Structure 1
């Protein structure tokens, strides 16, 4: 049963990662009535997040170009997932932002307790 819960938590982590990208894209496309700004922010925002994750956090750090561990990894995750929650909040989606942040906190605590990357 514990193995199933750990797998579910790993799945939640992956879905939260995708949620960050979707949140930043949504924020970008609602940022301005100008279509050039919408395209730049809606596509460029997620691209910046993908680049940061690929450089420092991919695969729990194992697949990252510059893997982070310890407090640096925790700071990256807080910035990454907090950025997703803030993007939702900035888009006017307060309740989804709070739910997203709460899911991240639960996921992070469970990963710490279960020693998951």
Structure 2
């Protein structure tokens, strides 16, 4: 059972990293000038990481209840999926959507 728990938590961590990568990819692939690309390509994932660390992370500085945490996680992941979709990576967005839904169902149905 411990192996399953660590596997689920490991996949969830990889989903967090993929969300940050999706925001970065979106920012760097906008049809704007290089300054905006750099600003959003670095700034968007940085802001999301700060938000995640403040409210959602296990050792968050402002912890929230589990239902609020689930809603915030779903918002972040939905925005990452939208970022992939609007970056012309619709198939990758669909795959990420499926992984997020399955992983969150597994994680929260097991009481973690």
Identify the residue that residue 43 of structure 2 maps to in structure 1.
Answer: 44
Gaps of 5+ in 1: none
Instruction: Pick from 87, 90, 97 the counterpart of residue 91 of structure 1.
Output: 87
Identify the residue that residue 108 of structure 1 maps to in structure 2.
Answer: 104
SS across alignment from 1:66: coil
Gaps of 5+ in 2: none
Q: Deviations over 1:39-95 (max 9, x none)?
A: 011001001101110110112xxx111111132111101111111111111101001
1:57 paired with 2:56, answer: yes
4+ residue stretches of structure 1 with deviation over 6 A? none
After TM superposition, give the deviation of residue 101 of structure 1 in Å. 1.1
After TM superposition, give the deviation of residue 100 of structure 1 in Å. 0.6
Q: Which moved more, 1:38-47 or 1:28-37?
A: 28-37
When the two structures are superposed, what TM-score results if normalisation uses the length of structure 2? 0.93
Instruction: Pick from 69, 72, 78 the counterpart of residue 76 of structure 1.
Output: 72
1:13 paired with 2:12, answer: yes
Q: Deviations over 1:87-112 (max 9, x none)?
A: 11110100110111111111111111
CA RMSD in angstroms, aligned pairs only: 1.1
